[in-house]
């Protein structure tokens, strides 16, 4: 890997008010980041100890997956108290300290808000179960009588995203309640003003504590068709009974007004899985969310043409609403890139997860390196999920009795679930827990043997490691060698993606098996893999300075 920093010294772009437009946001999955008290579960004290690591990595913000009190039926996405911290992770005071300490290091904090559902142990749901059918307590949720003569069948055929019916029968009086995810995650009824008021208050609670923004879980699912119409195979835009309904936008307009009311305006980031780019972009209109995750890019196979279309599609969809695109390669829900890109079909889709498919991890790692530099060079913001910067592979051989994910449990083991990308981070040493916990502690998900070379300590010593690449790439990115210049494709063969930003920066990715010569005179800023006699070999990304002065022929 080559790095030429001197060439871009002094070209920093202004990163003031609209920091979120090109921020690098690092996702912390607290349970698996660092464990300071030795109980095998990551905690806030562990994160605080490792803040210098995150500063040195060069990230602008941290997004914390839910850290609230939770029975952990879905790893914290089942919240029983939105204004506190799970005791396994620490205290509210520690969270406040963490937010403040990170900010001193120049790192902002984004907290995860889960407005679609609560835990079945949330006081509202407990009150609803204790109350009678038709009561105001039940109106906060979707309680309905069952269908069939004796009401013993679910009210309709909606399916849970985790598998099985989306309805569970409440004890006692026979009503059913809706849960688009696990039965421990009852859906809230967003036709109720109290539900709106509660969440607006939760937003203020975290904004008042210094959170720079929120990541909004399942952001396109909150509003349901009150008629509970069945899903139809070809429903038109906005007609699906529980996805992307038009009434959602008013919720986010109100949230945007709250975010904008702060001296440093807060930021709203949506988790929106929608195939229709135009519908997706509606959430990013100037008075709604600031950004949303680009899952099309995340799921895109490692193929030049598909990547080009994905990038074009994202830029075209965002332009009319003047929102920045986001570039996401992984998160806590999807197969790790090193594994995904090592497969013959390197796309990602929940419906077709492929545990146990033949995987070439070496190839996957090479592609993941190239993908990282590609993502870092694209205009917009970037997300890095903890462990991605270490090139951790998906762990696919977790014993059944150690698995935690409801996706695995509710599919009867058909879906491999998401535990394999949530394994605790290896920090140092040559055996589990690799410095994640005190030696001898058993981590909540077991780490594999054989991760000694993937620890932060080992990779820090190795200039050719994934971590060294991320550090160098993010350092260069921060200096914006493109100087704010516009994105444009430049001519290249079918197996190559090449784009310029501004007059003298080019990012060049070779997907094909034939090495490709670089234009004469081009200065190499960084390359994801060593060049072969000046040529870019397969699955390699290179950032170049001043290649355009030489004309565009030869590419």
Active-site residue numbers?
217, 271
> Is residue 114 close enough to count as binding ligand NOJ by CB under 6 A?
yes
- The H helix count followed by the E strand count for the chain is 15, 18
> Is residue 539 close enough to count as binding ligand NOJ by CB under 6 A?
no
Per the rule left: phi > 0, alpha: psi between -120 and 50, beta: everything else, 465 is beta
Q: At what angle do helices 361-377 and 466-478 cross, to 10 degrees?
A: 10
Q: How far is the CB of 405 from ligand NOJ (least distance, A)?
A: 8
Using CB under 6 A, pick the residue from 60, 74, 415, 419 that binds ligand NOJ: 74
The token pair at 40 is 């095998």
> Is residue 419 close enough to count as binding ligand NOJ by CB under 6 A?
no
Q: Which residue has the tokens 């349901």?
A: 224
Using CB under 6 A, pick the residue from 27, 32, 156, 218 that binds ligand NOJ: 218
Q: How far is the CB of 535 from ligand NOJ (least distance, A)?
A: 41
Sketch the per residue contact string, 287 through 326, with ligand NOJ: x for CB under 6 A, - otherwise: ----------------------------------------
Q: Is the CB of 221 or the CB of 370 nearer to ligand NOJ?
A: 221
Q: How far is the CB of 501 from ligand NOJ (least distance, A)?
A: 31
Q: How far is the CB of 117 from ligand NOJ (least distance, A)?
A: 7
Positive or negative, the CA dihedral 253, 257, 258, 260 is positive
Using CB under 6 A, pick the residue from 142, 167, 176, 181 that binds ligand NOJ: 181
Among candidates 132, 99, 19, 49, which has minimal Cα distance to 427?
49
Burial of 223 (C-beta count, 10 Å sphere; 0-12/13-18/19+): buried
Sketch the per residue contact string, 326 through 345, with ligand NOJ: x for CB under 6 A, - otherwise: ------xx------------
> Is residue 383 close enough to count as binding ligand NOJ by CB under 6 A?
no
> Is residue 86 close enough to count as binding ligand NOJ by CB under 6 A?
no
Residue 148, C-beta contacts closer than 8 angstroms, at least 6 positions apart? none
Using CB under 6 A, pick the residue from 20, 26, 67, 77 that binds ligand NOJ: 77
How many whole angstroms from its chain centre is CA 92? 24
Distance separating alpha carbons of residues 103 and 329, to the nearest angstrom: 25
Distance separating alpha carbons of residues 365 and 529, to the nearest angstrom: 11
Q: Is the CB of 421 or the CB of 458 nearer to ligand NOJ?
A: 421
One-character DSSP codes across 61-111: EEEEPP-S----TTTTSS-S-TTS--TTT--HHHHHHHHHHHHHTT-EEEE
> Is residue 82 close enough to count as binding ligand NOJ by CB under 6 A?
no
Tell me the β-bridge partners of 523.
545
Q: How far is the CB of 273 from ligand NOJ (least distance, A)?
A: 9
Q: Is the CB of 76 or the CB of 426 nearer to ligand NOJ?
A: 76
Q: How many residues bind ligand NOJ (CB under 6 A)?
A: 9
Q: Which residues of this protein are in contact with ligand NOJ, per CB under 6 A?
A: 74, 77, 114, 181, 217-218, 271, 332-333
């Amino acid at each position: 890997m080559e790095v030429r920093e001197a060439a871009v010294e002094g070209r920093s772009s202004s990163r003031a008010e609209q920091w979120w437009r090109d921020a690098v946001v690092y996702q912390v999955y607290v349970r698996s980041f660092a464990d300071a008290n030795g109980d095998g579960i990551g905690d806030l004290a562990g994160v605080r100890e490792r803040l210098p690591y995150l500063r040195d990595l060069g990230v602008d913000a941290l997004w914390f997956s839910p850290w609230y009190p939770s029975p952990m039926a879905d790893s914290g996405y089942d919240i029983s108290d939105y204004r506190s911290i799970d005791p396994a992770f620490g205290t509210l005071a520690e969270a406040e300290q963490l937010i403040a300490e990170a900010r001193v290091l120049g790192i902002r904090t984004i907290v995860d808000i889960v407005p679609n559902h609560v835990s079945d142990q949330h006081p509202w749901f407990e009150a609803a179960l204790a109350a009678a059918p038709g009561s105001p307590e039940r109106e906060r949720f979707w309680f309905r009588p069952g269908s069939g003569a004796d009401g013993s069948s679910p009210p309709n055929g909606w399916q849970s995203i985790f598998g099985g019916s989306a309805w569970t029968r409440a004890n006692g009086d026979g009503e059913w309640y809706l849960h688009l995810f696990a039965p421990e995650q009852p859906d809230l009824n967003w036709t109720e003003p109290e539900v709106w008021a509660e969440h607006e208050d939760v937003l203020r609670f975290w904004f008042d504590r210094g959170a720079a923004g929120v990541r909004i879980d399942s952001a396109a699912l909150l509003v349901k068709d009150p008629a509970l119409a069945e899903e139809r195979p070809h429903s038109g835009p906005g007609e699906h009974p529980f996805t992307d309904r038009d009434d959602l936008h008013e919720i986010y307009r109100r949230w945007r007004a709250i975010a904008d009311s702060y001296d440093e305006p807060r930021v709203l980031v949506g988790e929106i899985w929608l195939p229709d780019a135009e519908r997706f972009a509606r959430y990013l209109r100037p008075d709604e969310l600031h950004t949303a995750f680009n899952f099309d890019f995340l799921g895109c196979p490692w193929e030049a043409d598909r990547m080009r279309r994905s990038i074009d599609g994202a830029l075209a969809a965002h332009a009319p609403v003047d929102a920045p695109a986001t570039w996401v390669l992984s998160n806590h829900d999807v197969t790790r890139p090193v594994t995904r890109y090592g497969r013959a079909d390197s796309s990602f889709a929940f419906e077709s997860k492929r545990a146990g498919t033949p995987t070439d991890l070496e190839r996957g790692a090479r592609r993941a390196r190239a993908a990282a530099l590609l993502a870092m060079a694209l205009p917009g913001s970037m997300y890095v999920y903890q462990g991605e910067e270490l090139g951790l592979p998906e762990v696919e051989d977790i014993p059944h009795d150690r698995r935690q994910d409801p996706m695995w449990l509710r599919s009867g083991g058909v879906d491999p679930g998401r535990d394999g990308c949530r394994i605790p981070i290896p920090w140092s040493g040559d055996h589990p827990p690799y410095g994640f916990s005190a030696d001898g502690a058993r981590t909540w998900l077991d780490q594999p043997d054989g991760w000694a070379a993937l620890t932060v300590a080992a990779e820090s010593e190795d200039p050719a490691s994934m971590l060294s690449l991320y550090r160098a790439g993010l350092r260069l990115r921060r200096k914006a060698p493109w100087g704010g210049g516009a994105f444009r494709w430049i001519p290249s063969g079918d197996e190559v993606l090449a784009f310029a930003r501004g007059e003298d920066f080019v990012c060049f990715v070779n997907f094909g098996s034939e090495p490709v010569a670089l234009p004469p005179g081009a200065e190499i800023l960084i390359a994801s893999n060593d060049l072969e006699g000046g040529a870019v070999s397969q699955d390699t990304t290179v950032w170049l300075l001043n290649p355009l002065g030489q004309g565009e022929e030869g590419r």
